[in-house]
Amino acid sequence: MKILLTGVNGQVGSALKPLLMSLGTVQSPPREELDLADAPAVAAWVRRHRPHLIVNAAAYTAVDRAEQEQEAAFALNARLPEQLGRLQREWGGAVIHYSTDYVFDGTRDGAYTEGDETAPLGVYGRSKRAGEEGLMSSGAPALIFRTSWVYGLHG
């Protein structure tokens, strides 16, 4: 199986890479080779390599800075997941996408479930929710994981 892993140098991506390697060939091009905010470059790369699975761990994660850098946040968090889904739909590939609990407003007592209504409060949460919606509407088979407070050996 051919797997594209985005965000390999980040906290989630660096933890996933060794695990994904047991499933197939993992391609994780560095930013210099593939700028994920460059939609035509992403389309060309994905169409050339035709991965069976894309694991999208890339994200604009500077929550506070996103308020001033909305375009950058939406490029990676909203447009990229939708684009990856639409590209994968072309040949039946799938997408696993990492999102965030910031799609909720945080006012609920107790845990949220995937069926709960979203209500993001800031640009970061809105951009991540837009990415979820775009991926879900793309028509590609997809899984979306909403994470909270990620920690690990890297980062």
pLDDT tens digits, 4-13: 999 999 999 9
* 152 lies in some domain: no
Q: How many residues does the chain have?
A: 155
Q: Is the pLDDT of residue 155 over 70?
A: no
* 153 lies in some domain: no
Q: Is the pTM of this model over 0.75?
A: yes
> Residue 153 has which token pair?
């050996």
pLDDT at 13: 94
Q: Residue 51: name the closest of 99, 8, 98, 87 by CA.
A: 87
* 132 lies in some domain: yes
List of E strands, 23-100: 25-27, 53-56, 94-100
Evaluated on CA atoms 130, 131, 132, 137, the torsion sign reads positive
> Residue 113 has which token pair?
């479930």
- Tally of structural domains, the chain: 1
- Which domain CATH number covers 20? 3.40.50.720
pLDDT tens string 12-34: 999 999 999 999 999 999 888 99
pLDDT tens string 79-117: 999 999 999 999 999 999 999 999 999 999 999 998 999
* 154 lies in some domain: no
pLDDT at 149: 83
Q: Which amino acid is at 106?
A: G
Query: Rounded to whole angstroms, how far apart are CA atoms 72 and 138?
Result: 21
| Catalytic residue selected from 102, 112, 124, 151 | 124
> Residue 121 has which token pair?
């409060």
> Residue 37 has which token pair?
């905010």
* Active-site annotation holds for 124: yes
* 124 lies in some domain: yes
Share of the chain above pLDDT 70, in %: 99
